[in-house]
């Protein structure tokens, strides 16, 4: 029969913990911080001695401790099980075994051991708290809360159960009960800031700024040097719209921890959002001197782009590259931003810095950067370099239609229309695809042969009669050649097969507007816009149709959306100065007359 569970008073300190102090007793020393882990182990060793443990179980207990320190948790479990085989009535050994099981993620085994302890000794505070934590990690916050409240009744001044209880309530979605648990601990231990700090940080991390801020303020009143708490308070205040107070909190965080990446990031982004761009960039550039500079640069630039601060993002990434950050992702991101801003020379230079195939960033990043660099060079008029890059890219993946199309576009842009057609015909021979037929037809139409372009598309449609890309391209060629009636018929075929084809609806609405049917045109164009982003011209034609129908307020809104769409056109579309001027003139005319709607 197993021995009953024994619980005796712990010795204040075992010789193991006293030895370092005794060794230096002859000479006074400055006060040392208490090593709580070492003290706990010494006290547990003493407790095991007090339980009159056998020599075997005591040795296995120490072996378990050594293995745990070495990171061998499975070995620690084995040693504890062997210790229990010699002394299975030890509550301490069984609790430590449960703790080891929990570390291995074996929560069921941990729960069984703890319930065995509590069945014999329901007043075991440590086992009760550990059971609450195991249940919490198992995703059972309600059961965890019950056990932790029982632990509180056993030792109402001990903080462990309060801290775990606050977490259990938080995980159960009961933030108010979590705050109440923290306030209860502070009532019995007024100088203890740990609970308010932990809960404040947790609530801030979950976006509950209203509850986090007062807890963090209480924490900082007791521990004003806590940089992490200052940063979290800044984030909470920023979320509450208290931007000046947030900036002050971030400044306090940086005063305590000048090299805190999180604080530099938060403070820099807030400064940019507040219009203090030079100050914000100076803070963000300090991130580049930290370990992991490339990751900080990418994180900050992504946040800036998300805040519509694209120019500062480009400057930050350029500073990172100039400072020696060689991460290909930084160069690629810089290239994308410069390309969007039509800063093509800077974009090409950034893309050129992206690592070649075989580097850790991967071939796909390099390949896309090479294609984009070639396009930028082509748009800059540096045609030989662009064409050479594209030929290299196509040779590496001759089956890729996008590379063939990019080469053809660059050749056409350089004035080599016939060579562009030859490149497309070769690509079609290798891998016929509708996108290649569409591009070849567009080249033929631009070179003054719309009839041949139509024939190409008709031949492709004979093989794929409902292909949406071919049908839409055919309608575009027909409309561009002044054959509006044929274009409308083709669009009818397209929309019968693909009724939610936004560009097709937009083109049909434009043709109807040109034919003098503004009401039907407005209906179709509005449907096209509702389906997703469309070309600026569709917004403009919708505005024209609405204006013709006397719906001036709606027309103004459509013109504004056209201006917004112009701002994000692909670089090959060119700088849309005339289009922008025409739209601004239409808006001005609308504002000078009383709205009819």
Average the pLDDT over 318-337 and give the result.
Answer: 94
- Who wins on pLDDT, 42 or 201? 201
Give the confidence band of 139 by pLDDT, cuts at 50, 70, 90: confident
Give the confidence band of 44 by pLDDT, cuts at 50, 70, 90: very low
- What's the CA gap between 562 and 570, in Å, rounded? 14
- What's the CA gap between 311 and 230, in Å, rounded? 29
The CA–CA distances, whole Å, from 192 to 218, 228, 348 equal: 11, 17, 57
Give the confidence band of 63 by pLDDT, cuts at 50, 70, 90: confident
Give the model's pLDDT for residue 318: 96
Give the confidence band of 20 by pLDDT, cuts at 50, 70, 90: very low
- Who wins on pLDDT, 152 or 230? 230
Give the model's pLDDT for residue 338: 95
pLDDT at 436 over 90: yes
- What's the CA gap between 379 and 33, in Å, rounded? 66
Long-range contacts of 83-88, Cβ-Cβ distance < 8 Å, separation of 24 or more: 83/56, 83/57, 83/58, 84/57, 86/54, 86/56, 86/57, 86/60, 87/3, 87/51, 87/53, 87/54, 87/56, 87/57, 88/2, 88/3
pLDDT at 1 over 50: no
Give the model's pLDDT for residue 34: 30
Average the pLDDT over 13-38 and give the result.
Answer: 33
Residue 2 DSSP label: P
pLDDT at 325 over 70: yes
Average the pLDDT over 91-117 and give the result.
Answer: 89
pLDDT at 395 over 70: yes
Which run of H or E residues covers position 494? helix 484-497
pLDDT at 380 over 90: yes
- What's the CA gap between 376 and 223, in Å, rounded? 55
CB 195 within 8 A of CB 180: no
pLDDT at 37 over 60: no
The CA–CA distances, whole Å, from 525 to 67, 372, 485, 486 equal: 72, 32, 18, 19
Give the model's pLDDT for residue 33: 33
Give the model's pLDDT for residue 523: 93
Cα 520 to chain centroid, rounded: 43
- What's the CA gap between 453 and 464, in Å, rounded? 17
CB 250 within 8 A of CB 227: no
pLDDT at 439 over 70: yes
- What's the CA gap between 486 and 489, in Å, rounded? 5
- What's the CA gap between 170 and 178, in Å, rounded? 6
Average the pLDDT over 404-412 and give the result.
Answer: 95
- What's the CA gap between 248 and 265, in Å, rounded? 14
Average the pLDDT over 503-510 and give the result.
Answer: 93
Give the model's pLDDT for residue 264: 97
Which run of H or E residues covers position 54? none
pLDDT tens for residues 346-363?
A: 999 999 999 776 545 456
pLDDT at 19 over 60: no
- Who wins on pLDDT, 190 or 27? 190
CB 290 within 8 A of CB 296: yes
CB 396 within 8 A of CB 407: no
- What's the CA gap between 426 and 8, in Å, rounded? 89
CB 239 within 8 A of CB 252: no
pLDDT at 48 over 70: no
pLDDT at 572 over 70: no
pLDDT tens for residues 292-301?
A: 999 999 999 9
Measured from the Cβ of residue 222, the count of other Cβ atoms closer than 10 Å reads: 15
Give the model's pLDDT for residue 56: 65
Give the confidence band of 570 by pLDDT, cuts at 50, 70, 90: low
Q: Hey, which of 60-69, 167-176, 397-406, 582-591 has the most confident mean pLDDT? A: 397-406
- Report which of 226, 297, 238 is spatially closest to residue 267, judged by C-alpha positions: 238
Dihedral of CA atoms 217, 221, 227, 232 in degrees, nearest 10, equals -10
Q: Which two tokens stand for residue 374?
A: 């070639």
pLDDT tens for residues 443-470?
A: 999 999 999 999 999 999 999 999 999 9
- What's the CA gap between 412 and 447, in Å, rounded? 10
Flag the least confident range among 45-49, 103-107, 407-411, 566-570. 45-49
Across all residues in the chain, what is the average pLDDT? 84
Q: For residue 71, what are the contacts with CB-CB under 8 A and spacing of at least 6?
A: none
Give the model's pLDDT for residue 54: 63
Average the pLDDT over 306-334 and give the result.
Answer: 93
Q: For residue 264, what are the contacts with CB-CB under 8 A and spacing of at least 6?
A: 254, 283, 284, 286, 287, 290
- What's the CA gap between 474 and 301, in Å, rounded? 42
- Who wins on pLDDT, 387 or 189? 387
Tell the burial category of 385 from Cβ atoms under 10 Å away from its Cβ (0-12, 13-18, 19+): middle
Question: E strands, 87-222, where?
Answer: none
Give the model's pLDDT for residue 89: 80
Helix locations, 286-353, DSSP H: 293-306, 310-322, 328-340, 344-352
CB 311 within 8 A of CB 341: yes
- Who wins on pLDDT, 183 or 30? 183
Give the confidence band of 12 by pLDDT, cuts at 50, 70, 90: very low
Measured from the Cβ of residue 198, the count of other Cβ atoms closer than 10 Å reads: 18
All domains in the chain, ordered by first residue: 355-429 (1.25.40.10), 432-499 (1.25.40.10), 501-597 (1.25.40.10)
DSSP string covering 11-22, please? Answer: PS--HHHHHHHH
pLDDT tens for residues 257-289?
A: 999 999 999 999 999 999 999 999 999 999 999
Give the model's pLDDT for residue 57: 67
């Amino acid at each position: 029969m197993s021995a009953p569970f024994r619980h005796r008073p712990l010795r204040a300190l075992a010789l193991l913990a006293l030895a370092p102090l005794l060794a230096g007793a002859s000479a006074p020393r400055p006060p040392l911080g208490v090593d709580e882990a070492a003290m706990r182990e010494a006290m547990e060793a003493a407790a095991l001695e007090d339980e009159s443990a056998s020599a075997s179980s005591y040795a296995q207990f120490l072996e378990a401790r050594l293995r745990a320190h070495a990171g061998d948790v499975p070995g620690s479990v084995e040693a504890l099980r062997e210790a229990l085989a010699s002394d299975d009535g030890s509550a301490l050994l069984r609790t430590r075994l449960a703790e080891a099981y929990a570390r291995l993620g074996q929560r069921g085994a941990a729960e069984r051991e703890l319930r065995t302890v509590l069945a014999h000794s329901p007043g075991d505070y440590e086992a009760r708290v550990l059971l609450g934590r195991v249940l919490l990690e198992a995703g059972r916050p309600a059961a965890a809360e019950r056990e932790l409240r029982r632990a509180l009744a056993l030792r109402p001044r001990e903080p462990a159960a309060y801290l775990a209880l606050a977490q259990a309530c938080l995980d159960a979605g009961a933030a108010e009960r979590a705050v109440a648990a923290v306030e209860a601990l502070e009532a019995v231990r007024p100088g203890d800031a740990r609970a308010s700090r932990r809960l404040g940080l947790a609530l801030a991390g979950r976006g509950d700024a209203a509850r986090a801020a007062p807890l963090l303020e209480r924490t900082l009143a007791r521990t004003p040097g806590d940089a992490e708490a200052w940063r979290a308070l800044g984030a909470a205040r920023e979320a509450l719209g208290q931007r000046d107070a947030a900036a002050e909190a971030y400044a306090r965080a940086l005063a305590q921890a000048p090299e805190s990446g999180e604080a530099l990031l938060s403070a820099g982004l807030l400064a940019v959002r507040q219009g203090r761009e030079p100050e914000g960039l100076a803070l963000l550039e300090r991130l580049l001197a930290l370990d992991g500079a490339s990751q900080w640069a990418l994180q900050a630039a992504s946040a800036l782009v998300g805040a519509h601060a694209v120019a500062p993002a480009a400057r930050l990434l350029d500073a990172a590259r100039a400072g020696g950050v060689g991460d290909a992702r930084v160069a690629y991101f810089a290239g994308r931003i410069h390309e969007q801003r039509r800063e093509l020379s800077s974009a090409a230079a950034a893309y050129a810095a992206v690592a070649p195939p075989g580097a850790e960033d991967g071939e796909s990043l390099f390949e896309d950067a090479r294609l984009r660099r070639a396009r930028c060079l082509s748009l800059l008029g540096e045609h030989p370099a662009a064409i050479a890059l594209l030929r290299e890219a196509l040779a590496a993946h001759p089956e890729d239609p996008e590379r063939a199309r990019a080469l053809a576009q660059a050749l056409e842009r350089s004035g080599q229309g016939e060579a562009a057609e030859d490149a497309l015909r070769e690509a079609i021979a290798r891998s016929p695809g509708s996108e290649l037929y569409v591009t070849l037809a567009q080249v033929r139409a631009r070179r003054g042969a719309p009839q041949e372009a139509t024939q190409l598309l008709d031949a492709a449609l004979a093989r794929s009669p409902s292909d949406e890309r071919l049908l839409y391209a055919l309608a575009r060629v027909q409309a561009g050649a002044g054959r509006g009636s044929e274009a409308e018929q083709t669009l009818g075929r397209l929309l019968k097969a693909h009724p939610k084809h936004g560009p097709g609806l937009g083109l049909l609405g434009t043709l109807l507007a040109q034919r003098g049917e503004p009401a039907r045109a407005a209906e179709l164009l509005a449907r096209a816009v509702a389906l997703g982003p469309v070309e600026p011209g569709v917004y403009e034609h919708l505005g024209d149709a609405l204006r013709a129908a006397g719906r001036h307020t709606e027309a103004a809104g459509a013109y504004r959306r056209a201006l917004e769409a112009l701002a994000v056109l692909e670089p090959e579309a060119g700088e849309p100065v005339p289009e922008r001027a025409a739209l601004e003139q239409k808006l001005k005319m609308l504002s000078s007359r009383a709205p009819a709607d």
